[in-house]
Structure formats: structure tokens, C-alpha cells
Amino acid sequence: MNATLASTYLYVTRARWGNLVHRIFYCFALATSTLVSAMLMVGSSAVVNKLTVMSIHTVIRITPFSVAICTSKGGMQADIIAD
């Protein structure tokens, strides 16, 4: 089996092992992505809490809006290229 147009490992698992394994890997990938995103949110809010007097709960609620604004203005690529 070839997976020449596969751009992610989920495409490779579907081509190699079929839909059942693809769905299992998809569930694990979704759970991992959710867990890592939550860890990044809590970790960044703890850093902002230590640097400022804002509460952790406030920072957790503000962080998605700041990420959305950064992305709409050009994202991290625009920030990296500007440096």
C-alpha cells in the first residue's frame, strides 16, 4: 500500500491499517492535543500570574482572545519574520 499523498500520520494509519485503527489513533490524537493545550494554558497563566497581579482564572479566560488576535494579525510567522 502506498500513502504518497499522506500529510499526517493519521493518513498513513488509514492507508496501512484501515478505518478502525485510524479512528483509534484519531481519538488518542484528539485526547493528546486537548491535554497538551490545557497544560499550555495553565502553565502560561501561572507565569503571567507570577509576573503580574492578575489571577490565574482571569488569564486563562483572556489567553484564547490574545491568541486569536495574534493569529488574525499574521500569527507567529509574522512575529518571527519581523524579528
DSSP H helices, the chain, are 9-17, 19-51, 56-72, 75-82
Q: Are 52 and 44 in contact (CB under 8 A)?
A: no
Kindly report the number of other CB atoms within 10 A of residue 29's CB atom: 14
pLDDT in tens, 10-69: 888 988 899 999 999 999 999 999 999 899 889 989 999 999 989 989 999 998 888 778
The single-letter code of the amino acid at 13 is T
- The pLDDT of residue 78 is 61
Domain residue ranges in the chain: 9-82
